[in-house]
Amino acid sequence: MVSEIGAGLLLLVGVAQDDGEAGADWLAGKVARLRIFSDEEGKMNLSVKDAGGEVLAVSQFTLLADTRKGNRPSFIRAALPELAEPLFDYFCGKLREESIVTVKTGRFGAMMDVALVNDGPVTIILER
């Protein structure tokens, strides 16, 4: 599956077993207000809302891989689909409530081809 967005954010979202709605609420607010887009002077001073940007949120359980022991990643911290999918959908709904007009997602658990053109070497990890 391929999904495209214009100027905006690609969010890779990992849902852990102990995640809940309070964390999703916090994360949606943080994503909506994080000043990571350039203003007219080239300074990172605008949020995705300020910039009129879009969001593509992709559920990515592999972000929770534990590689400390052995050579095979363990995904034991990742939430099972019965918890992860509704919480991921809830999070995307909260982004929309934060006035981000366009929030796109793929199909939960589906294979997706995601191409990225980075505006500078910026990757930010958000954890609560």
CB of 33 closer than 8 Å to CB of 95: no
Note the pLDDT of residue 6: 54
Q: Which domains can be identified in the chain, with CATH numbers?
A: 8-105 (3.50.80.10)
In single-letter form, the type of residue at position 15 comes to V
Note the pLDDT of residue 113: 81
Note the pLDDT of residue 47: 92
| Residue with tokens 């990742």, as numbered in its chain | 78
Note the pLDDT of residue 23: 97
Mean pLDDT by 10 residues, the chain (128 residues): 61 95 97 91 90 91 92 95 96 94 85 76 84
Active site residues: 62
Pairing verdict, β 44-46 and 37-38? antiparallel
Query: What whole-number distance in Å separates Cα of residue 69 and Cα of residue 66?
Result: 8
Q: What per-residue string of b and e applies to 44-82 under the rule 16 or more CB within 10 Å gives b?
A: eebbbbebebbbbbbbbbeebeeeeeeeeeeeebbbeee
